[in-house]
Structures are given as structure tokens and as C-alpha cells.
Structure 1
Amino acid sequence: MGDVDGIDDALSTTGFDRTGQAEAFDSIGDRYDEAFPHKEGQIASGQWLADSLPTGSLVLDLGCGTGQPTARQLVDAGHRVVGVDLSSEMIRLARANVPEAQFHQVDIVDLEDLREGPFDGMAAFFSLLMLNRDEIPDILELLRRQLVENGLLALSMVEADVNDLAIPFLGNTIRVSGYLREDLHQVIEEAGFEILGEDSYTYAPLSSDIPPEIQLFLHCRRRR
């Protein structure tokens, strides 16, 4: 399979510049795990994905971050894991934390260039949060195409009616988007997914510059 490390991911094919997003997470590095030490929702959703797939399934960890906890969780469950992230520093940390998996620095919109799929399952924990709302339906359709028939998707978002909003984040500025719950359901279903289940958590990060939030975790299956 082709390795796409070094790809020019500064400007996505849809025209939204995410250079600042990558630079912010390069700067944050392993402080991300320190600021978010309690990830009960993500761990539970990752466990659903790991348990619902046959052992040895090929799983994509989209926006893998440091590889903790999701890539490690999936590898430990006996799955083959491919992780992607926009940040070169996150990829470096993920490779150190989960050497059994494959990790590539690649923009989500260039996922088809990875040539690793089709995937049996995907984890997309807070990765769509980093996109503009204009991109999200197309990205969900892209993910659907990269899944096998009846493939599974574990997805999380923060419940918030915002689009491309600049927020302070661990000493940096990032831009985020979100939906209210019913609107998120509609976007996911219109992209060709069936929602099998949902959990929500009120989360308060340790960092004082990040307010408490409602995290939504959806368990989905490719419908068509």
C-alpha cells in the first residue's frame, strides 16, 4: 500500500485552509492527552467498534491523534489499524505509542489517495469537528465509499450549533464546527448511514480555557 507521508495537506481540495489546525496540534503534542485524561465516552464507543467487528478487521482511525486510546484499543482487540492525522507531531506520537499500527499524515479530504481500504470499520472521534460544515456531508460520503458493505462507523462530535468558529485551545487557536443532535442525525443519515445507537456525555476538560461540553457518540452502519 502506498505511503502518503509528506503529502501537501496545507490546502484541502475543497479550498479550506487547515494549515493553522495542523500547526496548533503540532504545538500541543502530548499535552492533548494531559488535558483530556478521562475519555470514558471514546473508550466505550471504541469498545463497541472493536467488539462488533470480526477479529483481524481492517479499521481506520480518522484523526488518530496520539494513538491513545483508540488505535491502541483496536490493536489490542486483534484488529489491523490504519491511523491518519493532519498533524505530523500527532503521527510521530502515535507511531511511538502504537507501533503495531500504520500511521500516515494525510488530510481527511485526500483519504482516497491512501489506497488502504476498503475498511471494515472506522473510528472518527472528534475529527469531523475540525471541518467546515460545507465539507462535512461530502466527507461522510467519502467515508461511506471507503467502507465495505454494512461496514461500521463510530463517530463523535460536540453538540453545538457552530460553524468554523475560532476557539482558544491549549494555548492555541483552532476552528471548529458542530451540530445540534437532531441536525447531526440528519446529516449522517443523508450521507447513507443507519444510526444503530447513541450515547452522550457531559465532559469537563482539565484545561481552564476549554469549557464543559456535551459529547455525542454515534454508532453507525453503512446503509447503501
Structure 2
Amino acid sequence: MKGQACKRNPVASHQAPVRYRRSPTPCRRGTNKSSPPHTTGIMSTAGAQAGFETFDALNIEYEKAYHDNPFKVACVKKAISMLQPGSRVLDVGCGTGMPVSQLLSTAGLDVSGFDISPKMVHYAQSRVKGTFVVSDMLEYQPAGQFAGVFIIFAHLQLSYADFHTAAYKFTQALQPGGILALGQMPADKYVRAETDWDETKTYVEDYDAPFMGEMLPTLALSAEGQLEFLRSMGLEIVSNKIDTFHPNNPKCLPEEQQYIIARRPDDKPLSPPKPLPKTTS
């Protein structure tokens, strides 16, 4: 992440926090379906690099643990019911393509997706009908507008400033009337010290949260803070669900998860989300 000291999650403080090495080694980018794609250049941010190192190593293990999530599937299916067949949709942080991109493609939607992990993108390319490339959330530039954008647990290792930039970019890529589906782990359950929050009590970043049996430095917004973040851009909340999911892995603890669907109104301009990121002097 950003090199700051990681705040220990009091809920699971008996577990040692895990740290992810910031590799300086550049990779090459490509989308050859016959072999795993590669990346070009160093990742655009420390958070992107941490995401690459975490999820490229996990790849199919992550899919097996989180694939059968009824709450995620229900959110995606509800979003699909609001879209016309053939509509263009974007899966941000598509992973292996399961289950989000697969559900979208099976529903007859025109799917584009990207992920930080070349190994995961290779799985998506080989199993899901769509266009999948290797990129990170800051580097990826949407081509045209989409009827739906899906950001399902794709931003957890970003700084708040980077998420702020990326979320606004992808919201601007929504066509009028388009929908944004977002999944996150709300911070409310995990944060115990008031001083751990940002000044607006909206988010914590680089905060130790349980993931795949270890502690992962995570960006998390409060449940209400995530709603206000979306509303502040001019989006209308269509659906908001919070449920507890236990991943299919003995190392994993149950996780509280929030799934939101928001719509871009036809006749309202968009604004940068609030709160604004902290400025550095």
C-alpha cells in the first residue's frame, strides 16, 4: 500500500498482519488467449502492485473460495434484470471471470473486463465470452460508455485517493440511465477506535481485515459512507444489501459484505465523489 504503518484490526488482533512485497520488476502486457497475458511496466500505484502480488498468487484458489456467494450472485442478477440484452457492460477487477463476468455473458450482455492478475485474466479469457485485458484501475481507460459497470470487491487494496479517482472515472463511463454495481466489506464491524477513521468518519485505509486466513491491508468505507460516496456523484441508490458470507475455505472467517446498485440519472450532471481525498503539503 502506501508505506504507512498498518492499523491492527482489534477483532482479529491475535493474527499477524501480512505484508506484500513491492516488486520493482516490470512485466509485459498482452492478451494472447493461448498463453497467460502479461503486463507492461511497473504497476501504476503501490496499491495496484500489492493487488497484483496478492491475487496473481491466489488466482484459482480465490475463485474456489468466493465463487458460490449467493449474495454476490443475487446482486449481479438484479443488475442484469435492469439491463437490455446486448448492452455493453464492464467488469472492473474481473478476476477469473467467475461468477460476475460469466453471469453477464450468459445473460447476453457484451462483456469487457480487466484485472491486475495475468493468471486470472487468462482464466477469464478461456472460459467466458467477452473481451478481457490486464490492467489496473488507475491505468485502464474505458472505451465509450457502458450500460453497466461492476466494481465487486475490486478496490480493496487501493488508497482512498486512488479509489476516488477510479470510481469517478468509471461512473463517468456510464451512459445516462446506466447502473453501477459495487461490492465492499463495510468498515463498521472491523473498526473499533474512532481515531482509525478519516476525519469525516467515512473510511479507513491500510486497515488490517481478515482475508483468506490472513490479515490484508484494506480500504473500507462505512456502510453509510459508501452510499453517500455514490450519492455525492449524483447517482441514485436502487438497492443496498448487507449480508454475511462464509467463503468456502477452512482458513476463512465469515465476512460482512455490502452490495449496492446505483443508477446514473438521465438528466443530472455528475460531480466528483465526497469526501475529497486528503491533500499532501
Q: What residue number does 1:23 align with?
A: 53
Letter in 1 for 2:130: A
The answer (yes or no) to whether the contact 1:74–1:81 under 8 Å persists in 2 is: yes
Q: What residue number does 1:46 align with?
A: 76
Letter in 2 for 1:163: E
Q: What residue number does 1:191 align with?
A: 233
State the TM-score, normalized to the length of structure 2. 0.71
Aligned pair in 2 of structure 1 residues 194, 139: CA closer, same or farther (>3 Å)? Answer: same
Shift of 1:135: 2.1
State the TM-score, normalized to the length of structure 1. 0.87
CA distance in 1, matches of 2:86, 2:181: 17
Shift of 1:11: 3.2
SS in 1 for 2:248: coil
Residue 245 (structure 2) pairs with residue 203 (structure 1): yes
CA distance in 2, matches of 1:128, 1:9: 20
Gaps of at least 5 residues in structure 2 are: 1-28, 32-37, 192-203, 270-281
| Identical columns (%) | 27
Aligned pair in 2 of structure 1 residues 9, 211: CA closer, same or farther (>3 Å)? Answer: farther
Per-residue CA deviations over 1:159-198 (Å, capped at 9, x if unaligned) read: 1153123556447774321111111111111123211111
Shift of 1:95: 0.9
Shift of 1:211: 2.5
Question: Would you say how many aligned residue pairs link Structure 1 and Structure 2?
Answer: 217
Runs (4+) off by over 6 Å:
none
Gaps of at least 5 residues in structure 1 are: none
SS in 1 for 2:139: helix
Higher Cα Rg: structure 1 or 2? Answer: 2
Shift of 1:28: 0.8
Shift of 1:9: 6.2
Letter in 2 for 1:81: V
Aligned pair in 2 of structure 1 residues 155, 172: CA closer, same or farther (>3 Å)? Answer: same
Residue 94 (structure 2) pairs with residue 64 (structure 1): yes
CA distance in 1, matches of 2:122, 2:215: 22
